[in-house]
Amino acid sequence: MKKQLILIISLLTFEVGFSQPMLSPPPPEKIKILSWNIYMLPGVVRVKGKGERADAIGGILKDSDYDVIVFQEAFQRKARKKIFRQLHEKYPYQSGPANQKLISYKTNSGLWIFSKHPIVSSESIIFKNKSGIDAFSRKGALIAEVNVNGSAVQIAGTHLQNSGHPWIRQSQCVEFYNRLLKPFHKEGVPQIVCGDFNINRKKEEEYNFMLQTLRATDGELVGALQFSYDRLQNDLHVEAGQSQDLIDYILVRDPSNQFVSTSREIKAIRKNWDSIHADLSDHFALEAELYFAHSPLFSKNIIEPTRANK
């Protein structure tokens, strides 16, 4: 009888254990990012409609569904104040503008990150090699680690040399990787690299050098627009000619294969701000939707939401 009782208990235990459903992995996390060179040059540079364009940019983006916005060329303080006042409630966490000093003849990097989600930490660098007008800014790169619903993802922004010999942009790619992306990287945490790289997709040698140096991958664009600096379709472009170029990218550094899928699209964000202009920058924006597996949050330190005007 004792042996029969032990057998019955064993069978019941096996049945209960076997009937328990297997735990499925949590669904992938989604993050939607906008990267945009907004053409807000320093106050000493005469550029059309900075104030009107800043009002329109802030007004449109405050009603958007982006998780993170990465600006380039956010140089002018007055324009930043207008954008900040409209965005800071929906995007209470910011990093940048990077490399800013209160008193200096050089301007900041123009890099500025807004996030709906808490920014855990951030870091920036100033490129050593610059030339021409770019030498009057602290051009470099900025990276922020963001807590997306308990998972960590790192967002980096940069703006490479505008003109001059390709070796300058190439050296900046090397600096970007060695001084910021590699040291800031954490095992299992993906990095998303955004910005105006001033590297034309058509120039395969320089484009491939960028990807190889950053250890990053790019992807195809969906939608009708295929160029971020488009002299034919953008009414605010400042360079002569009819060339259409792709020089803005959202790249992925994902050695741990955290990303499940990615999608990229050029966005023409427009609003009439004078009688002949609707485009709000000489660059079109680039958005990406990325789904990634849950990655550990290594730090619980949160950069407090920014409340003061930028």
Over residues 13-27, the pLDDT tens digits come to 444 444 445 556 667
Residues near 230 by beta carbon (within 8 Å), at least 6 away in sequence:
237, 244, 245, 284
According to DSSP, the β-strands at 68-74 and 29-40 are: parallel
| Per-residue pLDDT, 41 | 87
Residue 209: count of CB within 10 angstroms of its CB: 17
State the Cα–Cα distance between residues 171 and 117, nearest whole angstrom: 32
**Strand order across the beta sheet in which 151-159 lies:** 119-126, 140-148, 151-159, 191-196, 248-253
Position 8 pLDDT exceeds 70 = no
Length of the chain: 310
Amino acid at 283: H
Preceding amide of 97 cis, omega within 30: yes
* For the chain, percent of residues with pLDDT exceeding 70: 82
Q: Looking at 111-184, which runs of residues are DSSP E strands?
A: 112-115, 119-126, 140-148, 151-159
Nearest 5°: the CA angle 188, 194, 195 is: 155
| Per-residue pLDDT, 297 | 62
Over residues 287-305, the pLDDT tens digits come to 999 998 766 665 555 566 6
Position 50 pLDDT exceeds 70 = yes
Please say whether the beta carbons of 280 and 273 come within 8 A: yes
Amino acid at 147: N
Who wins on pLDDT, 269 or 136?
269
Sign of torsion over alpha carbons 92, 139, 248, 229: positive
pTM of the model: 0.87
Over residues 55-111, the pLDDT tens digits come to 999 999 999 999 999 999 999 999 999 999 999 999 999 998 866 665 555 677 889
Over residues 185-227, the pLDDT tens digits come to 998 899 999 999 999 999 999 999 999 999 999 999 999 999 9
Residue with tokens 């459903």: 21
Instruction: Grade residue 306 by pLDDT with cuts at 50, 70 and 90.
Output: low
CA distances from residue 86 to 35, 223, 247 in whole angstroms, order as listed: 18, 28, 28
* For the chain, percent of residues with pLDDT exceeding 90: 64
| Per-residue pLDDT, 229 | 96
